[in-house]
């Protein structure tokens, strides 16, 4: 699974002009399930997201996790993270999971996040035309890929 984490002061997702998910300070996580990804990879991705120390401590060093600071999570599906641009000017998305498998893994990740993270967990809408608004804090943007075991 591939994700892009953005430390935010606030973020929201709109679909057809309506806010479907929003958070205050925390992490916006764009998530892409790729072919062959498993629930075990989603679990490992979530564990990393929750424990990644990218928030400032009292000395201003990135030494605290989203859980340490009580931040929110905004999980947004984004299959375009699987883009392969090596073959020309039009990206290929053949490495992305099928829509059915992508939604299954995204829904699983959201369910696990809500169980593991007592703070707010908001979402976008799978396969919708979404507008994502954010105030990137830092800016801090970190790509994170969790490969299959082995």
Q: How far apart are CA 133 and CA 150, in angstroms?
A: 37
Q: How far apart are CA 138 and CA 4, in angstroms?
A: 15
- Of these residues, 80, 94, 111, 131, which one is catalytic? 80
Catalytic site residue 78? yes
Catalytic site residue 141? no
Q: Residue 106 belongs to what H/E stretch?
A: helix 99-116
- Of these residues, 6, 41, 55, 78, which one is catalytic? 78
| Lookup: tokens for 134 | 């954010």
- Of these residues, 6, 41, 55, 79, which one is catalytic? 79
Cis peptide before 144 (omega within 30 of 0): no
Residues known to be catalytic? 78-80
């Amino acid at each position: 699974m591939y994700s892009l984490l953005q430390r935010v002061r606030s973020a929201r997702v709109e679909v057809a002009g309506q806010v479907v998910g929003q958070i205050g300070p925390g992490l916006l996580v764009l998530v892409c399930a790729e072919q062959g990804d498993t629930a075990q990879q989603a679990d490992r991705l979530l564990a990393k997201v929750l424990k990644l120390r990218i928030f400032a401590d009292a000395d201003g060093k990135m030494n605290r996790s989203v859980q340490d600071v009580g931040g929110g999570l905004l999980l947004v599906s984004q299959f375009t993270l699987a883009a392969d641009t090596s073959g020309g000017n039009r990206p290929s998305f053949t490495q992305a999971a099928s829509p059915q498998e992508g939604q299954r893994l995204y829904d699983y990740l959201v369910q696990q996040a809500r169980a593991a993270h007592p703070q707010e967990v908001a979402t976008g809408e799978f396969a919708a035309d979404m507008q994502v608004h954010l105030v990137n804090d830092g800016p801090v943007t970190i790509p994170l890929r969790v490969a299959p075991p082995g």
